[in-house]
A and B are shown apart, each in its own frame.
Chain A
Amino acid sequence: MKKISYLPSLIRFSSFLSIFIIWTILSIFVDHRLFASPIDVVKDINYHLFEGELISDTIITLTRAGTSFFIAMFLGSIIGYLLARYKNLDYFFDSWVIIGLNIPAIVLVILFYIWLGLTELALVSAVVLNKMPIVIVNIREGTRSLDKSYFHISSVYQLTKLQTFTKIILPQLYPYIMTSARTGLSLIWKIVLVFELLGRSSGIGFQIQVFFQFFDISSLLAYSFFFIFIILIIENYIMIPIENRATHWRKQ
């Protein structure tokens, strides 16, 4: 029985290894300068970490992504909740949300860079506007599906508004908030890179553009892998534990 439980991780590991091997073999055959080998990339990660600006670029990009993420989550949750609670508000703003969902991110950022200049504010506003509609839709859905029988408790036992919100409404919204947060994170960090590339002079996205100009493939891959690594750490050591804590009552 034990062998079976090792099998999936074994397969996963060999899959990972195969990428590495194929990559190494390919890099031997293809022109060396434009097709970095894994060893080049590792060397470059090491270089950019300790002699270059990988750390500070990562911090800059994470700050932009984090700021946009929290603003989008905060505003999106409030708006989504209100739209679900007040029908007329929903009738009015529904088409705004639909437009927001469908407007290409690239159009938003170009508009904001033109209107506000190539500034932090322009970048953050564009990311927030791009992400918020999805949060709104999620939280609106969650609010609509609140279980009414629990409100019977709050009315019979005359709970305060605050108690009703924190003990009855919020726990039911957690799964929707968490879904928005996780999809939001993976969406936001990708578009932040694009937006940096288009109009900022710092951050991972900006550096990628510099490497592009010099055809510095191995630095480009070094930056990407390092950033993916950071995002995975955030996902595994921040997002998933928070989610587990919020939903621990389901399991055990």
Chain B
Amino acid sequence: MIDISIKNLNKSFLQPDSENKHKYNILQIIKDLNLNIKQNEVVSFVGPSGIGKSTLLNILSGYDKQYKGDISINREINNKKLSFIFQAHNLLPWLTSIENVKLISNEESLKNDSPSKILNELGLGDFLNSYPNNLSGGMKRRVSIARAFVNEPNILLMDEPFVSLEKPLANELREKTIELINKNNVTAILVTHDLREAIMFSDRIIFCNEKPMKILLDKEINIKKSFSYDSDEVDEVYKNITMNYPNILKAM
């Protein structure tokens, strides 16, 4: 079954001209993009900065509605079953950890006390009533991961969720997130610059570059989604890709 289907997606922005500020140029970011993502599949997008990866996630999440093309997402709209882990943690600073999670919880989650359970599971048991300003960067990420899973989503979009974290912490959160992905059987898209991270998470990695966004390689990854960042299994796939596709990695 197809969970996310993208047909002929086109997206452009108006950008002020560098010489004449009253003139606007059309900047095409995404051109005729076609993609299907199956149920329970985790797909990573790897590519250089500024090619429209966040833009694509914004469109898929329903935030950006100004595009051409067809997008269909198998989303149980009324149950709020699509989740997003934002590039910045994007917590509301005037709400405590638990309030941030509760705000987006559906009735079922609230009834089952899921907000405090998931925060506990992510090691935030003592920080339920702390405001984001009083949490470390890592703890804020934990809250934003908790928020993403509280409603047991079936679709998950992640925009560089582990960037600028120290490596041991990043690895811990990567493993925790994969565990939650497996537990909830989610279909997910992960945007990342980190190839090893992509290998850990994904059934497929899509390498892209340029403007408008171009898919260079759509590669199946056939290892289980349960190996750690530094494991030999991930390492092997990593070497395999870097050896077989040296040009692609150069274009990153």
Contact = CB atoms under 8 A, between A and B. Distances in A.
B86 A152 contact: yes
Contacts of A153: 90, 92, 103-104
Nearest to B151: A157
Contacts of B61: 152, 155-156
Contacts of A171: 92, 94
24 contacts: A149-B90, A150-B92, A151-B63, A152-B58, A152-B86, A153-B90, A153-B92, A153-B104, A155-B61, A155-B63, A156-B61, A156-B63, A157-B80, A157-B83, A157-B84, A157-B103, A157-B104, A159-B103, A171-B92, A171-B94, A249-B93, A249-B94, A249-B131, A252-B134
Contacts of B94: 171, 249
B77 interface: yes
Interface in B72-130: 77, 80, 82-84, 86, 88, 90, 92-95, 103-104
Given A157-B80, A252-B133, A152 B103 contact: no
Nearest to B131: A249
Contact of B77 (A156, A158, A167): A158
A171 B61 CA distance: 24
Nearest to B61: A156
Contacts of B63: 151-152, 155-156
B77 A150 contact: no
A30 B103 CA distance: 68
Contacts of A55: none
A203 B131 CA distance: 46
Contacts, number: 51
A167 B95 contact: yes
Interface residues of A, number: 17
Nearest to B130: A252
Nearest to A174: B94
A12 interface: no
A156 B131 CA distance: 22
A150 B93 CA distance: 10
A168 B62 CA distance: 18
Interface in B127-142: 131, 133-134
A167 B91 CA distance: 12
A185 B160 CA distance: 47
Contacts of A167: 92, 95, 103
Contacts of A168: 92
Contacts of A151: 63
B80 A250 contact: no
Contacts of A119: none
A201 interface: no
Interface in B199-249: none
A159 B104 contact: yes
Given A167-B92, A171-B92, A249-B93, A156 B133 contact: no
Contacts of A155: 61-63
A50 B20 CA distance: 74
A56 interface: no
A152 B84 contact: yes
Nearest to A153: B90
Interface in A127-178: 149-153, 155-159, 163, 167-168, 171
Contacts of A250: 93, 133
Contacts of B93: 249-250
| A155, A158, A159, A252: residue with the most chain B Cβ atoms closer than 10 Å | A158
Contacts of A152: 58, 61, 63, 84, 86, 90
Interface string B53-68: 0000010011100000
A76 B117 CA distance: 43
B134 to A, nearest CB: 6
B80 A158 contact: yes
Given A167-B92, A167-B95, A156 B103 contact: no
A153 B86 CA distance: 9
| A156, A158, A252: residue with the most chain B Cβ atoms closer than 10 Å | A156
A167 B93 CA distance: 11
Nearest to A171: B94
B78 to A, nearest CB: 8
Contacts of A249: 93-95, 131, 133
A149 B61 CA distance: 13
A156 B92 contact: no
A131 B92 CA distance: 32
B80 A163 contact: no
The 10 lowest CB-CB distance pairs between A and B, nearest first, are A157-B104, A171-B94, A156-B84, A155-B63, A249-B131, A249-B94, A156-B61, A152-B63, A158-B80, A157-B80
